Every structure is written in C-alpha cells, then in structure tokens.
Amino acid sequence: MKNYYRFTAVIMLLGIVFSVYSQQKGPNIAFQEKIHDFGKIKEEAGVVTHDFKFRNTGNEPLIIQRVVSSCGCTTPTWSKEPITPGGEGFIRVAYNPRNRPNKFSKTVTIYSNASSGPVMLRITGFVIPRPKTVKDIYPYEIDGLRLKTNHIAFTRTYKNQKKVRKDEIINTSDHDIKIEFTRVPPHLTLKAVPSVLKPNQKGYIEVAYDASKKNDWGFVIDRIWLKLNGKELPNSRLVVSASIEDDFSKLTPEQRANAPRISFKEKNYDFGKAQQRKEIEHEFVFTNTGKSDLLIHKVRSSCGCTVVSPKEKVIKPGQSSSIKAIFHTGAYRGRQSKSITVISNDPASPTTILRITGIVEPPQKGK
C-alpha cells in the first residue's frame, strides 16, 4: 500500500513539473492550421476569406507586428491587440479571384515577438473562370465598333519580308458601320472584312506590312486613323509596330566569314559626376574588323541624349569611325544611364547598345 501511495505521489509531481515546463517561456504563437484549401470558387462570386486561428501558448503577451502577403490579390487583417498567455487571435486572409482563373497558391508571412520567428500560412484553390462578355473579348471601343486590340505588333520583321496580321472586330451598335482608313503610309495596306459591319456582326481588320518599303530600321511605330461612316474620330487611332532587321538566316558559313564586323573600342562611358545643365560629350570609336563593307543603318538615342551619326554610312574593312554622343544633364539628378542603339549589317551584332552613365548633382546652395 505504501508503494502505491509513493507511486501516486511521483505521478502527481511529474504532472506538475510537466505542466510548468509545457508552457513555453516568453510569447509563443501556435496555429490550429497553416494551410487552407478553398476548393473550387467562382470568379464572379468575388472575394473569399478564411480565418487562421492561433493561441498564445507562451507565458508573456504575444504581439503581431506585421503580416506580409505574396501578392496584391491577397489581403491580410489580424488581431491588433496583444494576446495574453492562453488567449486566442486570428489572421484573416482575403483572396480576390478577379481575372485570376485556374489554380492558385498564395502565402502570408506573420511576424511577431514570438521567439519561434516568422510563420508562413498558405491558401490554395481553383478559380472557375466567369463567362467572358463582349467587352472582355473586345476591350477597345470606338463609337460602337469594338476591337480585340488597338496595337498591331509585327515584332521581328526582316527588311525583305512581307507580313500580315488580323485584328478581330465586332459591331455593338444598332446601325451599320462602314470602316475606312486614313493617313496610311506606303508600306502598310489595311482593309476591313467586311467593309460594312451590320449590328452584332463580327469581322476583322487585315494589316499587311511591307518592310522593304519602310525607310527605317529597328523598332518603329506607325499610327493610322479609322473613319467610321465617313467620320474620323479623335480616339480612332491604331498603332502598328515592327522591329525591322536584316535577314541573316540564309547566309552560308563562307558569307558569314566574309561579313563585316563592328568592333567598338568601348561600349560604356562613365563620366563620373557632373552638374545640372551641362553637356557631356563622348566619342564612341569603332572599327570594321570584318572583310566586307559595314553599313550603319541607324543610330538612335534614349531620352536626354543627342547623337551625331558618323559622317560615313559605309565603313570599309579596316576603316575606323566614331559616333558622338552628347548628354544634356538638364534638370536630371542622381545616377543616370542613357543608351544609344546602333543598327548595322554585322550578322554577329546587328544591334549594339552603347551606354553613358554617371551622377548628376544639383547646384550647391548659394552658387
């Protein structure tokens, strides 16, 4: 019997010791769950929320300092007051599914005064896309005519190439719309199919690009205006862009070995420090180290820089020339980086980027 009482006393003592040491020193945050799956949700249903509940299992007040989400579509709110030992709190996570179809997995990170450090929570689910409306499919509207895009991009286009792009359209008005085009440059051909759209009728605008007729190189933009029922409206502009390059794809190994080569003495110039409203000049020297004539197609500068193209557009093998860059510091301040794009017929480097960098300092007070 004495042994029984002794055993019982030991068990009670161990229970007391365990109870004391099971409560962690300082604040501690313990979540019921760290991952929540919303399952399937409808995009049109809007924002969904979930509360992640936690308990302070420490022996000092717990303070949530901040909560950081992995993207702007996830918005957290949380218990602002200190959580006493044994008390409960929450982290509420809201997810906006608009324009975010299919699977998602987002995180929020909780920073607190708990000794265990930051805690990461995760929400997952699948967004069932809402049915698309006519406005969704054709977001650009011009007096009842809706377009899928107002920017026809031809991307890389070789100088000897002709390309065709189509832009789908629909008439959402209650009357016929006759479509015409004005201010069309010679290298572009546009037509609407059909040329007259009836109410609710679909069609397309066909744009043909003949790069051989465009007297330019690199990234170029043209603007064309639509005439609807004989009227040219202020917002009826279409943008057509292309990046015009030489076609080197059919060169033989022998032709490449005998091609021109543009070799710059330097491609980056750091002017150090300069005052506002000053001009920084620099000559970028280059040599044709190839075996045939080097053609400088185009030299273009970024904002704030003026470029003087080389006098010679044709550089013979072994011949050197230069491109003068003038950077106007103006009202700029701080670290600056201006670029100059050089387009040539060098198949190894058809586009070369030169840079002028440095720090522009404002005038000192009293001077």
Ordered by where they begin, the domains of the chain are 23-128 (2.60.40.10), 134-245 (2.60.40.10), 253-361 (2.60.40.10)
pLDDT at 20: 40
What is the residue type of 163?
K
CA distances in angstroms from 246 to 211, 250, 251, 296, listed in the order given: 10, 11, 11, 12
pTM for the model stands at: 0.69
The answer for residues whose C-beta is within 8 angstroms of residue 310's C-beta and 6 or more apart is 296, 299, 321, 322, 323
- What's the pLDDT tens digit per position in 303-331? 767 777 787 889 999 999 999 999 999 88
Four-point Cα dihedral 194, 196, 198, 204, nearest 10:
40
- What's the pLDDT tens digit per position in 250-296? 999 999 999 999 999 999 999 999 999 999 999 999 999 999 999 99
Relative to beta strand 218-228, strand 196-197 is unpaired
The answer for residues whose C-beta is within 8 angstroms of residue 69's C-beta and 6 or more apart is 75, 76, 93, 106, 107, 108
Per-residue pLDDT of the chain (367 residues; tens, 9 = 90+): 555 445 454 445 444 444 444 456 899 999 999 999 999 999 999 999 999 999 999 999 999 999 999 988 889 999 999 999 999 999 999 999 998 999 999 999 999 999 889 999 999 999 999 998 999 999 999 999 999 999 999 999 999 999 999 999 999 999 999 999 999 999 999 999 999 999 999 999 999 999 999 999 999 999 999 999 999 888 899 999 999 999 999 999 999 999 999 999 999 999 999 999 999 999 999 999 999 999 999 999 887 677 777 878 899 999 999 999 999 998 899 999 999 999 999 999 999 999 999 999 988 765 5
DSSP state of 150: S
Q: Which residues pair with 91 in a beta bridge?
A: 52, 78
